[in-house]
Amino acid sequence: MMRVLIATRRTNGDVANDVDYCVAGELLMIGEYCDCCRIDPGSCGCGIAFSGLNSHRMTTTAIVAEVALSEAEVREAIRSSLRAGGWFDADEPELAEQMVAEAWQRIQHVATHFEVGTVLGRRLDVVYEREVPASRP
């Protein structure tokens, strides 16, 4: 069992700039963000969102989950996603492994910091537990 981040609709929509274009339950990674987002994290969304490994789409909510995958399987999912997204070519194995290792390290750091079932949000390099609004039971 591995702790990972997966897409969730829980609390999505509670914040004005929430987006949810991923498939619920899809593996997520914490992608890079553009220079525009350094100035205004919500300008294009990449500074406030997690990236779906399969859909290549974004969501502003992730949940920490334990899944029946090995580290090698999660790394392969990351590798396949990055390759399909055009982040590197198959003939760049060193770059590929560096990018996979960095993506896996970010996922692992966050997923092991929070308890399973915690819904997370993101603002640039900060990943945080989303608060449930007082109006919600």
The predicted-structure confidence for 109-127, as pLDDT tens digits, reads as follows 999 999 899 999 999 999 9
Mean pLDDT over each residue of the chain, to the nearest integer: 89
pTM for the whole structure: 0.89
Domains of the chain, by residue range, sit at 2-129
Average pLDDT over residues 26-52: 86
Predicted local confidence at residue 136, as pLDDT: 41
Do 66 and 3 touch, CB atoms closer than 8 A?
yes
CA dist., res. 56 & res. 85, Å (int): 7
What is the dihedral angle through the alpha carbons of 109, 110, 113, 119, rounded to the nearest 10 degrees? -170
**Quick one: average pLDDT of 32-59?**
86
60 Cβ neighbours under 8 A, 6+ residues apart: 12, 15, 17, 18, 19, 20, 45, 48, 49, 50, 121, 122
Residue with tokens 């910091």: 113
Using pLDDT thresholds of 50, 70 and 90, give the confidence band for residue 131. Answer: low
